[in-house]
Each structure stands twice: as structure tokens, then as C-alpha cells.
Chain A
């Protein structure tokens, strides 16, 4: 650890000088630095200076802190605090900027983007490279390069000319000339005097370039006013035809300010319409109920097996469309609900070979929960989910369509955006809806990210919409239960609606109290806290939700109206007995013959249904409804359908009695359908056999009822013509091959019977003949000429060795074509696989 007295000479040293808390703050704000944990502070400093890490850190700065970093990037390196303040506040000063700057600088230091003492502020080199203006990357400050940089490529003669024209004494070298020029440019008094003489058009040109972009075009023969500027170095050439306004000149013209509009204060979230908190909570609760109903309906729709999973994962466009139609909502909204159910773990892919989406076991548990808990079980995962349904239907970088439930929908910024927006809403007085655009502006200020700016805005818009759909907000304002969900204490009820002004997080959004800029509760909740928050939200929501009813109103037009949510068992039975005609606060059911039949099919009896309706209706069951049920029930099941494999029929029921009573018939699984008919689960052949075994003499019956005469029938086809020969057979062997074949045949038995002529080295039994490659080739070629069979050792592609007798036909291109006596066919052998060759022994 270096003594704090000596100023640090590097970022590593600066880090070394920081205490543990401050290092912890750094690692918290830049978690990428800890993975993996660096070995020492030097490594930490190095990692903090890598481009990827710096880019990430810069992306997470709020607008003012970023502006501060940008100002440092155009300031001298190192710069003093006074320099920085000058750049940020301008010559005239700006109390708001002056008040906000220390905090911004603290942020930059904490994030290890700036180090060094107040008099020697140093922006990390990588950050400086990223933020400093260059022709390729114009800075948001609109400033150009410093005069020294811009003049780097100029001829010394030209520099001296400029210096002289600007009214400065000549110097001996270019460096001192530039220094003198820079000195002039940064001297406000002398600059003012210099510019006072400028022609009107020249001042006009400067005013066009002053706020950037600082580059301009000039012709080869510039006009007089441009020449006046060029001659004094107020414009410096960068490339043929292009000039730039040096940074110092621009700063002079801007009265020292690096930014046209420094934004030290976050834009306030403007309030839109204010409703009474009660009506907001009621509206949100109503929407929460709708949300539950929607998810339940979705799951019911998928209950008997949901749509198939695409091969690439996700839901097909057609299935999404179908679901949207079933839920009677636009597709993007349907995608949201599907994703919500997925995030809450209520649906998942079933993982079968024919993969489909289906409800999870958690879904059944969920259904059993009381409504407020069901709601929190949906909303809590929504808060932390990174999946963004808003992207569904768009395309990814590879131009693949993004499908609901499919891959590529995760956006890590989503939970943070959601949490931030809800926190902002929580800071407004109760019952007050924000102006959505001002929320977006505020969010943009907090993360003026240059990349993916569009994404955050989309996420923010989606969050506002989704919060409304879920009933976290009502009429645009955060509801009490929504607030509880964030773990925020419920504000004291004040009749005048000024309650929020007294809240700790309230003023931070309107007044420059900077330590509140990162609102304390913005930190994501731990899982235990989240559970508490959910429970609190559920407690607040519970009294707002209508109590489930245990009755419906039955009407003579064969409808039933449930004037509110129904208790689950009641809703389930009614949903089976009648079709839902209209949903919302109430549910309208319509009884139809088909719906009543459905209930009967599910095993309910007519009397049971009548009792059920009587029990749950406040009014007598209307007569047409009672008739409907009785009429359907009367006809229901009058015809019975079942499957039997065979039957036994007999005019004598006594005989059938006998069969049924016989124990040996148990295996046939006979059932009496009528006095003279038995149905069997065994097939006819088994039945016949079984009955015969029992000593009966059954006869088989055809489908038409005739007795089948069982006589072995010869089975014949209708007249057929023999098949035509297919001309595309094996090719006719050419003469050479035929000759070889014949020779080989003759040699055939020779191979098996003839003892081999001993070659150079006598072969052990079973050992492959071995000869050199040249010898092999020569022997084979000789064998072709003499038309003799030879003995070869051969190793096939799998490494299996064998001995073969072959009669070579030709040897060419590294292959030998030969009649193989061993395999009895003509084959081609690669020469390199032949281990050796031996002549057959003469007899």
C-alpha cells in the first residue's frame, strides 16, 4: 500500500490507495471486473482499462456523468478540477453544474474511469480514446481536434506564416510556434481582440462550426473570409478540401463550455392525469383479475396439449395467431401472456419426442391458490424476467424470425428497466399517472447509451403497457399493491395527494439532491425480501378483488350469469355444463344441448345436474333449462357403442348361460349383451378354439351372417403377366474379363489344392506373402501376360489380412483388376494393399 501522501502515478496505484468499501463499490458497479477474480490490483487496473470493460462502464453512466467524462476527454491530460468545471459550466459558471459536478466526478472515480488528485484528474486512457473526438468518431461535444493535433502534418513554413499573420512573433521551430498559437487561442482577451477584426462572413462561418460538426469544406481557392480564417489558424486544413475548427477556438467561441447543454439534473417525470388513489387501485385490481382470467383461459386452451414446439424452439406464427384469436386479442398481446405464463413456470415444453407446450405441475398448484397469490406468482417473475415479448415477430441479427417462447428473446436490460420505471412511478404522488414520454426521457437521461438506445425505449414502452395489463398500474398510475411489490412502504394516506412530496424518494426526482440520484430502493430485492414484498402486495390486493361467488343467475333464455368471479369448483362444473358466451367482470354462460351432453359425457347424471343448478341458483331453475337437461339426458346414452373382437350368438339362451357360467370361459372375457348374444374380447379364432376346448361345436360366421365353411382355400391372384426383364442389368463382361474369369475358374481348384512354390523366404502357414512393391508389380504384370493365377496377401480397408488366389486381368493406375478365386468374382485391388505376391506352385 502506497502512502496516500504521494500522488498515484497510475490507475493501479490509485486503486491501491482506495479503501475496501470503495473497491467494493467499484466491483459492484462493474461486476465484469471480478469474473474471474483478478490476482492483484495491477491486474484489476489492467482489466478496468480494457476496451470492452470501459465501453460497458461508459454505457452505464447517466447523461451528466457521461458529459463530464466527455469533457475530460477533450481537456488536457491531466486536467485540474477547475479546468473540468470550466468546461462543464463555461466561463460564466452554472450553479447547477457546479453543484452536480462533484457527484459526477465521484461516480467516475468510483468506477475507476478517472483517477488522480483534484489537480491532476486523469481519464483512463481507453476511455479517453473512446470519447476524444476524431474524424471517424465525432464527439457528442461537437469539438474538433486540438490545434496541435490538427497542425501536426503542416509544413513548418506554413506554421510560421500562420503564427506571423496571427500577430505572434516567429519562433525557431514548429513546436514552439504551435504552443504560442495555442496560447493565443486559449487567451480569451487576445482572442477577442483577434476576432474583433474578423470579417463578418468569417464570423458567420465560425458560428456555423462552433457547436459542431467542426469540419467544413473549402475549395482550392478559398474566398477571402475563409482565407482570413485559414491564415490565422482559426481553421486548420485536415485533408485537401476539408478544414476543421481547432478545439481551442471552438471553446473560446463557446465561452469555454464543452457541451452546448450540460444536463446536470435528470428531467423530472411529468405528471399526467391524477385520479383518486382508490380508483387507481380499483382499476388495477380489476385489471389484475382480468390478467388472471386471461392466463387461466390461455392454459385452459392449452390444457389438452398445447401447440407444438418449433424445431428451433418457440411457438409457430400460426399457433400464436390461433391463440390470439382464442383469447380475442392482438397477437403481440397474446405473445405477452404466453411469455408471462412461461416466465411464471406455468407452461413449458413437455420434452417428448413430438415436443409440445403444456401446463406444468406448478400450474395446478397455482390454480389452487387464492387470487391475490396467483397474481403475485405471475407478476414477481415478470419483474425479474429478461424475456421481452415485445420482440416477438421481429428478426434477429441472422434474419431469423423471433418466435414467442423461442430463443433470442432475452434482453438483460429488461428487469432493470422495469424496476426503474416502477420506481419512478412510485415517486409520483399516489394516483398520479406519469406522462409516458417524460418517463422515457428520464430513462434516457439515466442511460444515454449510444448503442441499443432503441431497445431501452422499446423496453420502457412495453413495461408501461405490461404493467397496465397486469394491473400493477391502474389508469397509468402505480397501484398500492404494485408499490408493495417493489418493497416500498405504502405512503401515508394524505387527503391532499401531497403525500409523495414528503417521501424520501420524491424530491430526488425534482431537486438536485444528488445522493438520491441512485435511489436507495432501486437495488434489486433479495429473494427473501421479494417474498415479503409479494406477500405484502397480495395482502393489499386481496380486499380489492371481488369475493368469489357461490351462485349464478339462471334465466329462461338458457343463459346463466355469474355476476362476479365464481368459486373454482362451481366455475369448473359450470364451464363443463355450459359454454362461456361473454367474459369480463361477470361471466355469461349459455346452455346448449351440446354443452349439456358434454357434462353427461363427463359422467354427471341429469338429476345431479339439476340439483347442482338448484343449489347454486338464487332463483328457481327456469323450466326450459330443466327441460333441456332432461331432454338431452333422456337421449344420452340410449345408444351404446363399445368394442368387441368377436361375438357368440345362439338362439338358445340356456346354452349361453352355460357358457357364461363355465369357468374355462373366463379367458375369453365374454359379456352378455342380450339374451342371445355374447360379446367377447378374444378374437374369433381364439374364441372358436376356446369354445371347442370346452366341448362345444361353434361355427364361424361371416360379416354377412353366413356360416363360414372352413376349408383350406388355395389362394390365387387374378391373371397376371410375368414381369418384363429389366434391361438395365449387370453389364456384359468384356472379352478380357471373360477370359480372365475362365482362366480363374480353371485356376480355382489349383489354388486350393496346389502347394505354393516356395518364394525367397519360406512362408509359415497362414503368413502373408511379402514382397517389395516393385517385385509385386512385376510379378502381377507378368501374371497378366502369362494369364496365370498368383497367390497374394491382401489387407483390406479395415486392416483385415487375407490370402487370395487371383488371376490378374490388367494392372493400371495403382490397381490390379483380377478374378478372385477366393471370392469367386472379378474385383479390383489397390496395389498398395497387396502385401506380397507368390507364384502358385507348379504341380
Chain B
């Protein structure tokens, strides 16, 4: 029976609106989470979207169409359009009609439970080069090297294949979690379990929710040699540090494969950058993938995975793959490649929920609107189009406001984050704080980060090199002065810097200093969208108030 006054409203564009204050909201959220992607989570109404990928994710997780339809009908406030239910059932039904299996005699094969579907896809020009001989009416051989390709192509054709061909175990290597004085949080355990059960896939956790530990947990399950792909060297070091601390692995067992070091050890951490370095049209570091019999490949920050890595990943389909990310939203829209090449989403917890459990610090997000002076406005108006953002993002007025904020939080651990080096240098000079930028040597960075962690320095000015995976748990205030234009995920990452739970349960502060009535404000609005949708309501404060108060 449809709920007379359910918490859910099903829209004709296949978005689901969930009224969070409703008494059944929690039950409803649990019912729809497996198949609907949380798109926005502002204070009153959360928006979920039902996409084919989401429905297939649900199928991969063992849910069937009936459960999905039941969930919608049960919680919906208004009658659910019949056509939508039919469409959902049909879409879900498309998953699993085709599957990739390991055939004892023929190796990798594509089989079907529905012959016309097989006939349809075999007729596709894009499938033809990927397959071999027809074994029987329902089965066709697939070149083992094309396992990733065929999954990608089938998804594009709308008939995603279930990959049941299994994985190679890889070279065994003992890895245990050292749970002394700490333990995996329940949601981390759940994430590891879901991943291991599913074989391969993506775990979505907010920044600061301990994705590294999910990776470590997965490694302790796999107990095999592991290749970890991370965004940059600092992050690589962080991973290494964390793994040494949390697992039975020792320094010597973990190699770093980056621009400076080329170590290949049982657990190797490589950066995307080194993998995608091209010389004379070839990728010289590709051999890394074949250098050992890896049993597990971990992709940190999946949403940033560069296009060439997808290509390599297509060839690694026989190995277990774990993707870690804070968001499946990719600015380039390649979510379907993540689905077909790394795997379906295996775990997902909304940001606010983890915050509510106390695992990430609550944050106070403030947008400080700065009025430019008349002369600055004139200069802004006459600036070249491509220089406009740079100009308004780096005005003197902003610097003064930034200094005022830093002064206000004197005594706390403060990060000042920006895009433009000149601006950062200037800020560093005025604040008397060290600056970490691209040219800062890794050793120097480590040293400064350590000093910051220890509280020896309380203000650190960082460029975008610190966007990712730098563990600075004691930072409580972040001041963003400029960013990479309107990048939403950058904003999320930067907020993540201050979300690590504080030892004293202190609230975190995130200030974004924005020049009013300029393109800076437009970009800021765009950047904030993701967080606002995640339920981080920005307060807006006039700079004058702040300076006065």
C-alpha cells in the first residue's frame, strides 16, 4: 500500500526527494540507498537520483527490481508513475543477462541467459574485434586481454555484463592490521567487507573518514602483493606512514614509485603522475603493472583517475581493484568507466551521517564577502578576460581580510590555502608563516608538516599541492583565498583538510574569502555547490563585519 504520507516524492526526472525530518526518513533512506545515488543533501530535502548505473550497482549488490519498486511504492507520498516503475524494472533486468565467466576449456567467455541479447551485442561493430569463436548458441569466447574493453563497450550498449570470471590470487604476502589501541570503525569494516565480498569496486567515503584504513583493511584481507595508486608524492608518503603504523608491514616492504624513487616492493605506492608520464609516445612506467604478480590494486581518489590509467586498468581486470573516493562525481563525466573498469559502488556513507557519528569534525563554513576598493574595481574592470580571476582572487583587500581571520584564530592550527604562488608568498610574508608550494622539496614539506603537527608552527600557507591526502589532524581552521576556478571537488578536498576529528572535539572552521561582485564570487558559488548539497550550509559574512567584530 502506498504510504499515505510517506517521506519520499518520486519526480518524473527520476530524482527522489526525501524529506529528512519525516519520521520514516531513516527507514526510507536505507531502502533507497542501494540503488539511488545521493545527489544533494541540504537541510530539509535530500535529493537522490536513480540512474542506470545506480540500478546496476544495486543489481551487482544483489538487489532485485522488486525490492527497488517496493521501496519506492512503500515510501512514496504520491502514486509513483507506472511508467517509471516499468522503466526501472526493465533497466535492472538488463544487468546480468550477459556475464563473463571462466570456462574450463575455452578460458574467458561471454554467456547469456537471453539469446537475443547476445545476438544483438554480437552484431555491434564495436564488440566484433573483442570476441573469438562462438562456442555454443549462448556462449562466445572473449580474448582474455579484452576483458575490460568488452565490459566498457557492453555498458555503452546498455547491456552491462556481470564479471564472474574471478581474480588471480597474486603473489601472497602476509599483511595484518595492527589494531592496538585503535580499531576499524564500524563503517570502515562494513566497507572492507562489502568490497571483499563483491571482489572489486569503489568505496565512497567523505574526506577525513579514514579511506586509507579501508585500503589497509582490504590489503589485510587480500594478503597479497599490492599496488597502490595515489595522486602525488606527499600522499604516497602519507600512505606509507599510515600503513607502517597500522599494519604488520615494515618500511622495507613498502616501495615508493614516484618521480624521484623507483622502488618496487611487495607493497608499492605509485603516483598517477609517474604512470602517465609519456616519453616519445610511450608510457615508460607501464611495466610497473607487470613487474609483480599483484593481487590487489588500490586506486586512491578514483574521481581523479587520469584517462590513461583507465586504459591500463582495462588490462588488469583479472586483479582485484579497490577504488577509494569521496565522490563519484567526475568533472569529466566518466563515471561509467569507473563502473565498468574498477567496479560497482560497494559502499557509500553520506558525509553528514559520519559526522553525526563523530568520526569527522563538524565544520563551520563561512564565505567572507570582501568589497573591493574603487581602484581595485576599476583595475578589475579593465583586466584582460583571462586575468580577471587571478586579479580579483589576489587583491590586497582579500589579503587584509585573511590576515584578520588568522589573527582572530590566533593560537589554533591554521592552514591558509591558495592557488597563486605570488599571493601565497605575500601572505606568508605578512603572516610570518612558512609557505609550501610546488617547488618546496619533499623533505622540506615533510619537515614543515611535522612541525605543524607538533604545534611548533601554528600557521601554514599551502598551495594546491596540499589539496589531497595530507594528514594534518590538528588543523582546525582553513582559510581559502583562491582556488582552481570553480572546481567542486577541490573545495571538498580542502574542507577535508580540517575535518579530521580533533582530539578535543573542537569545531573546525572553513573560511572562503571571496571578492564581491566579481567572477571570484561566481566560482565560489560553483565550488560550494557540492558541499552545500552535502549539507554544509555556508554562512555569508561581510568582510566589514568581520573586520569590525
Q: Using a CB–CB distance below 8 Å, which chain A residues touch chain B?
A: 276, 278-279, 282-283, 285-287, 289-290, 328, 468, 474-475, 546, 553, 555-559, 561, 563-564, 582-586, 588, 619, 622-624, 627, 631, 635
Contacts and interface: CB of A to CB of B under 8 A. Distances in A.
Interface string B533-549: 10001111000000000
B19 interface: yes
Given A582-B47, A623-B537, 19 more contacts: A328-B13, A468-B82, A474-B82, A555-B45, A556-B42, A556-B537, A557-B40, A557-B42, A559-B42, A559-B45, A561-B45, A563-B9, A585-B10, A586-B11, A588-B17, A619-B43, A622-B43, A627-B369, A631-B517
Given A557-B532, A635-B517, A584 B10 contact: yes
B12 A583 contact: yes
A546 B13 contact: no
A563 B45 contact: yes
15 contacts: A287-B82, A290-B12, A290-B81, A328-B12, A474-B79, A474-B82, A558-B532, A561-B45, A582-B12, A582-B13, A582-B17, A584-B13, A586-B11, A588-B45, A619-B44
Contacts of B77: 563-564, 585
Contacts of A627: 369, 540
A563 B19 contact: yes
B515 to A, nearest CB: 13
A582 B15 contact: yes
A87 to B, nearest CB: 46
Interface string B330-354: 0000000000000000000000000
Contacts of A584: 9-13, 15, 78, 81
Contacts, number: 108
B378 interface: no
Chain A interface, >50% SS class: mixed
Contacts of A585: 9-11, 76-78
Contact of B17 (A278, A561, A623): A561
Nearest to A473: B82
A472 to B, nearest CB: 13
Contact of B1 (A279, A474, A582): A279
Contacts of A282: 2, 79
Contacts of B79: 279, 282-283, 285-287, 474
B23 to A, nearest CB: 15
A841 to B, nearest CB: 95
Given A557-B533, A624-B538, A283 B82 contact: yes
Interface string B4-23: 00000111110101010000
B9 A622 contact: no
Contacts of B321: none
B150 to A, nearest CB: 31
B527 interface: no
Given A555-B44, A585-B9, A586-B11, A286 B540 contact: no
Determine which residue in B2, B79, B369, B537 has the highest number of CB atoms from chain A within 10 A of its CB, and name it.
B79
Contacts of A276: 1
Contacts of B497: none
B529 interface: yes
Given A286-B81, A290-B12, A563-B9, A556 B532 contact: yes
B66 to A, nearest CB: 14
A563 B43 contact: no
Contacts of A624: 367, 532, 537-538, 540
Nearest to A617: B44
Nearest to A587: B11
Given A282-B2, A555-B45, A556-B538, A563 B17 contact: yes
B44 A553 contact: yes
B97 to A, nearest CB: 24
A619 to B, nearest CB: 6
A320 B213 CA distance: 56
A351 B511 CA distance: 60
Contacts of B516: 631
A290 B1 CA distance: 21
B44 A583 contact: no
Interface in B15-67: 15, 17, 19, 40, 42-45, 47
Contacts of A278: 1
Nearest to B365: A556
Contact of A623 (B10, B44, B81, B539): B539
Nearest to B530: A557
A290 B84 CA distance: 13
A800 B289 CA distance: 106
Contact of A588 (B10, B47, B76, B538): B47
Interface in B483-537: 516-517, 529, 532-533, 537
A546 B532 contact: no
A720 B260 CA distance: 77
Nearest to B517: A635
Given A279-B2, A585-B77, A555 B43 contact: yes
B73 to A, nearest CB: 9
Contacts of A553: 19, 44-45
B318 to A, nearest CB: 42
Contacts of B82: 283, 287, 468, 474-475
Contacts of B15: 582, 584, 588
Contact of B78 (A546, A556, A561): A546
Nearest to A471: B79
Nearest to B538: A624
B102 to A, nearest CB: 40
B169 to A, nearest CB: 46
A743 to B, nearest CB: 84
A286 B538 contact: no
A555 B18 CA distance: 13
A328 B12 CA distance: 10
Nearest to B19: A563
Contacts of A622: 43, 537
Contacts of B533: 557
B540 A623 contact: yes
Contacts of B369: 627
A631 B516 CA distance: 9
Contacts of B529: 557
Name which of A285, A474, A557, A583 has the most chain B CB atoms within 10 A of its CB.
A557
A622 B45 CA distance: 14
B78 A286 contact: yes
Pairs of residues from A and B, 8 with the lowest C-beta to C-beta distance, nearest first? A584-B11, A286-B79, A585-B78, A556-B537, A557-B532, A555-B42, A586-B9, A584-B12
B11 to A, nearest CB: 3
A287 B82 CA distance: 9
Nearest to A585: B78
A468 B533 CA distance: 36
B20 to A, nearest CB: 10
A635 B517 CA distance: 9
Nearest to B77: A585
Contact of A582 (B11, B43, B81): B11
Interface string B105-126: 0000000000000000000000
Nearest to A544: B79
Contacts of A279: 1-2, 79
B13 A583 contact: yes
A183 B538 CA distance: 103
A475 B19 CA distance: 26
Nearest to B536: A556
Contacts of A289: 78
A278 B79 CA distance: 11
Nearest to A469: B83
A559 B538 CA distance: 14
A557 B47 CA distance: 12
Contacts of A582: 11-13, 15, 17, 47
A5 B498 CA distance: 110
A290 B539 CA distance: 37
Contacts of B11: 582-586, 588
Contacts of B517: 631, 635
Contacts of B47: 582, 588
